[in-house]
């Protein structure tokens, strides 16, 4: 499908990657861009239509689907990182919160919008995943578990939507230069680079974005025995 003329909804469009994606959709000729945010007043990108959307709130998800019934391109971008290990975390709260947003929230959005996207096809669902779907840094193990779950869900809905005219794209990348990775001093992707690669995949009908070299190596290493890659080491 083409970005030009598309009607897009981006969750978490008030900052970070979501804000840049929403801006670039408009620059690339999208007909309408809805920007989902927990606080719609924080959607400040000119031309983007604010939508109240906490993806963990079933009523808000249903209301967004009603308001944005003309969507042809859904970007499930909203996500959280609690920077929490699996064994050393004092409680399960962080692991549950990451699962609620990154997995169940994304799943709720896919379920609410799939019928609309099928009706408006050709269309696409883009799920913003991570290198962490495949590479578990022990310092943030529960985030990786949530992104691995979101990867499995992405593959599952692709199967369910086969032959419906709805493309399902998983976007995997290492650190991006946003608030989420503000504490990171090493190399980071720009949000613009992730957005451009995502748009190219959508337009070419490709199901996966491997946005940087580290991510391509992590995917290739899936064929190795667990424990033989850097994911076994402490950071």
Ligand X SMILES: NC(=O)c1ccc[n+]([C@@H]2O[C@H](COP(=O)([O-])OP(=O)(O)OC[C@H]3O[C@@H](n4cnc5c(N)ncnc54)[C@H](OP(=O)(O)O)[C@@H]3O)[C@@H](O)[C@H]2O)c1
Interacting residue ranges for ligand X, rule: CB under 6 A:
11-12, 14-18, 37-38, 53-56, 77-81, 101, 105, 128, 130, 173, 175-176, 178-181
Q: Minimum CB separation from ligand X for residue 81, in Å?
A: 6
What DSSP character marks residue 102? I
Q: Minimum CB separation from ligand X for residue 79, in Å?
A: 2
H/E segment holding residue 170: strand 166-172
Choose between 32 and 98: whose C-beta lies nearer to ligand X: 98
Choose between 118 and 200: whose C-beta lies nearer to ligand X: 200
Choose between 18 and 50: whose C-beta lies nearer to ligand X: 18
Q: Minimum CB separation from ligand X for residue 188, in Å?
A: 7
Residue sitting closest to ligand X (CB): 16
Q: Minimum CB separation from ligand X for residue 60, in Å?
A: 8
Counted residue by residue, the chain has a size of 235
Handedness of CA 175, 177, 180, 184 (dihedral sign): positive
Half-sphere exposure of 202 (CA within 13 A, CB side): 27
Handedness of CA 54, 57, 63, 66 (dihedral sign): positive
What DSSP character marks residue 44? -
Choose between 30 and 176: whose C-beta lies nearer to ligand X: 176
Backbone angles phi, psi at 11, to 5 degrees: -80, 150
> How far is C-alpha 111 from the geometric centre of its chain's CA atoms?
15
Per residue in 175-208, is it b (16+ CB within 10 Å) or e — as a string? Answer: bbbbebbeeeeeebbebebbbbbbbebbbeeeeb
Q: Minimum CB separation from ligand X for residue 225, in Å?
A: 25
Distance CA 9, CA 71 (A): 7
Q: Minimum CB separation from ligand X for residue 42, in Å?
A: 6
Choose between 12 and 50: whose C-beta lies nearer to ligand X: 12
Choose between 120 and 189: whose C-beta lies nearer to ligand X: 189
């Amino acid at each position: 499908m083409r970005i030009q003329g598309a009607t897009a909804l981006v969750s978490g469009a008030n900052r970070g990657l979501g804000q840049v994606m929403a801006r670039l959709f408009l620059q690339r000729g999208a007909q309408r861009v809805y920007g989902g945010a927990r606080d719609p007043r924080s959607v400040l990108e000119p031309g983007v239509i604010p939508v109240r959307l906490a993806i963990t709130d079933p009523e808000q998800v249903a209301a967004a689907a009603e308001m944005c019934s003309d969507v042809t391109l859904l970007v499930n971008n909203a996500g959280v990182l609690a920077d929490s290990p699996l064994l050393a975390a004092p409680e399960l709260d962080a692991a549950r919160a990451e699962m609620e947003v990154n997995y169940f929230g994304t799943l709720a959005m896919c379920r609410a919008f799939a019928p609309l996207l099928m009706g408006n096809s050709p269309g696409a669902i883009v799920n913003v995943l991570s290198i962490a779907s495949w590479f578990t840094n022990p310092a943030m193990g529960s985030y990786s578990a949530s992104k691995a779950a979101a990867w499995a869900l992405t593959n599952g809905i692709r199967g369910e939507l086969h032959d419906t005219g709805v493309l399902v794209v998983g976007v995997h990348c290492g650190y991006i230069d946003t608030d989420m990775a503000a504490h990171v001093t090493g190399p980071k992707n720009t949000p613009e680079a992730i957005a451009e690669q995502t748009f190219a995949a959508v337009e070419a009908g490709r199901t996966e974005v491997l946005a940087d070299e580290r991510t391509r190596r992590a995917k290739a290493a899936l064929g190795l025995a667990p424990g033989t890659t850097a994911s076994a080491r402490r950071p």
